[in-house]
Amino acid sequence: MDVVFGAFPFMIDNVGLLLTKTGDHLVISLIPLLAAIVVGVPIGIWLGHAHRGEFLAVSVTNIGRALPSLALIAILIGFVGIGMLNAMIALFLLAFPPILSYAFQAVNSIDRDLTRAARGMGMSHGQVLLKVELPLGLPMIIAGIRTSAVLTVSSATIATIAGSGGLGDVILNQVAYGMEGVVAGAIWVAVLAILVDQAFALLLRVSAPAGVKRLQSTSVA
Amino acid sequence: MSDFAPAGDPVIPDYGQASDCVINNGAFCTDWFISQWSTVFWPPLISHIVMVAIAVSIGFVIAFCAGLLAYRKKWLAGPIGIAATFLYTLPPLALFQLLVPFTGLSLLTVEIALVCFTLVIIFQAVLVGLSGVPDDVRRAATGMGLDRNQLLFKVELPLALPSIVSGVRIATVLTVSIATIAAFVVDDGLGSPIIKAVSSPFNTQFIGAGALAVLLAFALDGLLVLLGRVLTPWTKARS
């Protein structure tokens, strides 16, 4: 019990250390996340727009979910070696499946009547995509990014064993920081994950188009 | 020949010869993997499976009861849902380390954390499955004279089964994944050969243990898909 209370003085004494590690942590987790967004969102949207590749999207999700993060990092140590690159590749592979499958579902599951109506009004394929499918699918695309963001922030703690730095350095170094430091690091990273999650939850609420919000509120009421 | 020449056996014993692959730390040395299977890989694999089995069974029992309760008492679903989301956001390693001051570096610590994660998923699967039963079906069953318990066991639960099975499936795969991280707390599971290999990096041990964990996740996932088909034969007939 003393250890848990000891964690808070540790945090105050070592704010500098924790903040530096948090910065590293965010860099390690956000760069792979960005890469996964850049690759995954367009592919997902394109497949969803064409209503093709459902099997691909579903299997990528299933495979991604089954990949144990530590195992992935370990396998990559064998091939890539120790270092930042290893952690980044591992986190990219973890972040990619949810983003792809959510982006695919976001566009694929839009009511076909809506897209047909848009086509009937004389919109081109590009306009249907940009003016109908993307605004309607945006909340779900962001939901996928949210899932992946939490996953990468959470898995980046383990990536420490590949020598990538970040808050995992504190959590897994009881010899240097003592049990107080370990608990402090754990609390710190848990709060960080919750903050990232809530930030995306906020973005999610903002991103829904006004018309959809009105629809949702009327259908609920 | 000098008087000091060693007589008989050499002083340094012969420990045998490692293969070129092992000496050069190749990506994956099959010979080493096979010869070390029974000491390095097999025991962690078994303890991993046991760890996952315990967590998923306990998590299932608790989540199933909680799901039924939340389904009957609707107001419970909100708070449990919020608690579940927060729990789900916690990095597994952080949860393990936060439990250590209370339950020590023990299997209990690991199981508490693992059960927490399975709980969240299975609870939601049970609730979604039960809520997804069409009202018409429920009314028809009530009209046929089924009481509340009969309705639950003969109509609602069978219809919710596909959702429950897929929840158990996701929970199992996730537990296999998180159980590798448990090796930071106890010397158990497939994570332990990985972590032991960090101090003296040997690629075969990294890749071997990592691949076993991935294969185990796929194997259990496949088994549960089969179980789902056996439990719900009617879904196949319908589609």
Lowest mean pLDDT among A39-48, B5-14, B216-225: B5-14
Distance CA A30, CA A192 (A): 13
For B54-78, the pLDDT digits (tens) are: 999 999 999 999 888 888 887 877 7
Contact residues on chain B for A153, CB-CB shorter than 8 A: 91
Q: Is A77 on the interface with B (CB under 8 A)?
A: yes
For B132-172, the pLDDT digits (tens) are: 888 899 899 989 999 888 888 888 998 899 899 989 998 99
pLDDT-derived band at A178, boundaries 50, 70, 90: confident
pLDDT at A6: 75
**DSSP per position, B45-76:** HHHHHHHHHHHHHHHHHHHHHHHHHHHHSGGG
Q: Where are the domains of chain B?
A: 39-231
Lowest mean pLDDT among A7-21, A41-55, B15-29, B224-238: B15-29
**Interface predicted TM-score (ipTM):** 0.80
Mean pLDDT of chain A: 85
The residue type of B106 is: S
Residue of A nearest to B92 (CA): A154
Distance CA B146, CA B137 (A): 12
pLDDT-derived band at B115, boundaries 50, 70, 90: very high
CATH 1.10.3720.10 fits A2-207, yes or no: yes
- Please report, rounded to a whole number, the percentage of residues in chain A having pLDDT higher than 70: 94
pLDDT at A221: 34
Interface test with B, best of A1, A3, A70, A200 (most B CBs within 10 A): A70
Comparing CB atoms, the residue among A62, A67, A190 nearest residue B214 is A67
CA torsion, points B152, B157, B160, B163, in degrees to nearest 10? Answer: 140
Comparing CB atoms, the residue among B89, B101, B209 nearest residue A183 is B101
- Pick one of 1.10.3720.10, 3.40.50.300, 3.40.50.2300, 3.40.50.620 as the CATH number of B39-231: 1.10.3720.10
Whether this prediction's pTM lies above 0.90 is answered by no
* Token pair in block for residue B130: 């039960």
Q: Which of residues 115-144 of A touch B (CB under 8 A)?
A: none
